[in-house]
Structure 1
Amino acid sequence: MNEQASRSERDDHVVLGKLTSPYGVKGWLKVYSHTSPMDSILEYSEWVLRQDNALKRHRLLQGRHHGKGLVALLEGIDSREAAERIAGAEILLPKAELPELADDEFYWHQLEGLTVVTRDGVVLGRVGYLFETGANDVLVVRGDPQGEPPAIDDRERLLPFLPDEVIVEVDLASGTMTVDWDPAF
């Protein structure tokens, strides 16, 4: 099923990974996974692929570890040429199909865009993105004095995602995250 990816459709999906390149001659593809652990992406039996702003569903026939990465075989992709045509496609999942989390757990996509405010009400900016270090996840908070609400400055800050230490409260409904952080850092 081919469909143009409208803004609302893109907002309804989360990117799980990417098909990077063909593997072999029978349609297998190398997979770059954003999931943790990386092979969790193989637990979803159907993938939505986004390529050239079009969405297409493919059933996952097989997937496995290969070296330090993953390879997958999708329904309808049975040759190297077919695999070459979809290489580079993003692997999406409808947000509604994500497993439910406990009340104190969050998916990264839920935190991106939240306004970050200190306990004293100082707006540091918005969460741009997150990344893993070995010890903990890190929030990249981008300040924008012209933003809404305006941030204290235009600095980019790296805050460790440490609940009950740095992260005081996450309120998805209001779009805010309260942190225990000195704005001078």
Structure 2
Amino acid sequence: MAEQSQETVIGRITSVFGVKGWVKVYSYTAPMEGILEYRNWHVRQGGKRIRLEVSEGKRHGPGIVVRLKGVDDRDVARSYCGLDITVPTEDLPELPAGEYYWRQLEGLRVETPGGACLGVVKNLMETGANDVIVVRPTADSMDNRERLIPYLPDQVILRIDLDAGVMVADWDPEF
């Protein structure tokens, strides 16, 4: 399956931290501190792509705080709040066989073992016990229902074929 984007969102700048230009960051990486391994970030502001360089960052309480290079003022830092942080997709580490980034699963056609189409993966959610796939119906789906399917490889999720754009789920279509 072709990549949907050349960049991947890895977090979001949420608010300012202190008066010296630091910002709070919500990280989408696991572990949370993994976002600090990417030193060159990009954000979109006013339709323009801006490169931000991380000078330093650390875990602070339940989150991450970061000082951006050249940002020493709270008001300048505030201008970045609410922006998604992206990195080039090729900067992401290679995963072991059988593991996938969520972005790779979004858009896959979901079928039953018998070949019935349940829809496509809209997104995934963390629930604590296990991740859940949100499957949205399409024109060729067997019905018009949105489904929440547990992401349990080898139990519910039997096969993922990124090249074919298909995920096979052992899931009762009536559920």
TM-score (norm 1): 0.89
Residues 6-155 of structure 1 aligned to structure 2 (within 5 Å): 11-144=5-138, 146=139, 150-155=140-145
Structure 2 portions without partners, runs of 5+: none
Root mean square deviation of aligned Cα: 1.1
**For residues 102 and 68 of structure 1, what CA distance do their matches in structure 2 show?**
28
**Deviation at residue 53 of structure 1 after TM alignment:** 2.8
Secondary structure of the residue aligned to 2:79 is: helix
- How far does the alpha carbon of each residue in 1:122-148 deviate from its partner, in whole angstroms, 9 at most, with x for none? 10000000011122111000112x2xx
* 1:29 maps to amino acid: V
Q: Give the equivalent residue in structure 2 for 1:3.
A: none
Residue 151 of structure 1 aligns to a residue whose secondary structure is: coil
1:4-42, Cα deviation, whole Å (9 max, x unpaired): xxxxxx810111111111111111001011111111101
Q: Secondary structure at the match of 1:11?
A: coil
Residue by residue over 1:73-125, the C-alpha shift from the partner in whole angstroms, topping out at 9 and shown as x without a partner, is 11121100110111111100111000001121100000000000000111000
The separation in 2 between residues aligned to 1:91 and 1:50, in whole angstroms, is 8
The 2-side partners of 1:30 and 1:51 are apart by 17
Q: Cα distance, 1:50 vs. partner?
A: 2.0
1:6 corresponds in structure 2 to none
Structure 1 residue ranges (4+ consecutive) displaced by more than 4 angstroms after TM superposition:
none
Structure 2: distance between partners of 1:133 and 1:56: 33
Task: Please state if 1:176 is matched with 2:166.
Answer: yes
Identity %: 50
User: What stretches of structure 1 of length at least 5 have no aligned partner?
Assistant: 1-9
Q: Distance in 2 between matches of 1:100 and 1:110?
A: 13
Equivalent AA in structure 1 for residue 158 of structure 2: V
In the alignment of these two chains, the number of paired residues is 172
Which residue pairs with 2:153 in the alignment?
A: 163
CA distance in 2, matches of 1:156, 1:35: 27
Calculate the TM-score normalised by the size of structure 2: 0.94
Distance in 2, Cα, partners of 1:177 & 1:23: 42
Task: Determine helix, strand or coil for the equivalent of 2:34.
Answer: helix
